[in-house]
Amino acid sequence: MLFALLDGRELPAAELAARAGVSPQSATAHLKRLVAAGLLDARASGRHRLFRLHSAEVGHAMEALAAIARPRPIVGLTQSTALQRLRTARSCYDHLAGHLGVAVTDRLVENGTLLAGERAFVVTDTGTKFLHALGVDVERARAASRSFARACTDWTERRPHLAGSLGAALLERFLTRGWVRRNAHERSLAITAEGRIFLARMFRIDV
């Protein structure tokens, strides 16, 4: 149920129960514990209660745990296809992850936009200009009351991608420009034709 919410969206208890393959009663009991523990937030919406991750930090912790957990065995074509979509491109709470997220982060380090640290990235002066040219509001991201440019270990690539408020601003730009699209049923991201052209031109990435 936590992984179903890892893209930052809100979902009702019934859908979370279906995603987890458990009864509504069992899901309700687990959700109450997760809310009490501070991992989830809940709000009423008509006759339903909607649940979401409490914060980006919860999402970061989940991604870190997934990176060291034993991989689940693939038991069918549908599961294999879904996993491949997640490996290619997905949202990790509110930032880019998967092969695309790591590749974009790598290029930002290579072109001097970011300096890599052990737990976070530093944005250079030339990097600020480059991000502004992409339409990313660096100052607004820096002023947010959360980590700015966190290095988040990607659970499929086993390497860091850009997280924090700057990572969120970058993903938002990708979405508003139509370079990627959200999937209605999972947190994989579809790379559009325009996105492939942009990635090849600006980042030398061939997905």
Q: Alpha helices, DSSP H only, in 37-134?
A: 56-68, 77-88, 98-110, 125-134
At residue 73, does pLDDT exceed 80? no
**In terms of domains, do 71 and 118 share one?**
yes
Task: Give 84's pLDDT tier (boundaries 50, 70, 90).
Answer: confident
Number of domains making up the chain: 2
∠120-66-184 over CA atoms, to 5°?
95
Query: How far is Cα 2 from Cα 21, in angstroms, rounded to an integer?
Result: 13
**How close are the terminal C-alpha atoms of the chain, in Å?**
29
H helix and E strand count, the chain: 9, 11
What is the per-residue pLDDT for 170?
Answer: 97
Which of 78, 80, 90 has the alpha carbon at shortest distance from 3? 90
pTM, full prediction: 0.74
> In this structure, how many other beta carbons lie within 10 angstroms of the beta carbon of residue 190?
12
Sign of CA dihedral 34, 52, 28, 65: negative
At residue 67, does pLDDT exceed 60? yes
**Residue range 64-81: mean pLDDT, rounded:** 66
**In terms of domains, do 160 and 190 share one?**
yes
Query: How far is Cα 49 from Cα 43, in angstroms, rounded to an integer?
Result: 6
**In terms of domains, do 114 and 193 share one?**
yes
Query: How far is Cα 97 from Cα 139, in angstroms, rounded to an integer?
Result: 23
**In terms of domains, do 65 and 43 share one?**
no
**In terms of domains, do 80 and 46 share one?**
no
**Residue range 201-207: mean pLDDT, rounded:** 89
What is the per-residue pLDDT for 61?
Answer: 84
> In this structure, how many other beta carbons lie within 10 angstroms of the beta carbon of residue 202?
15
At residue 7, does pLDDT exceed 70? yes
Tell me, what DSSP letter sits at residue 2? T
**In terms of domains, do 136 and 193 share one?**
yes
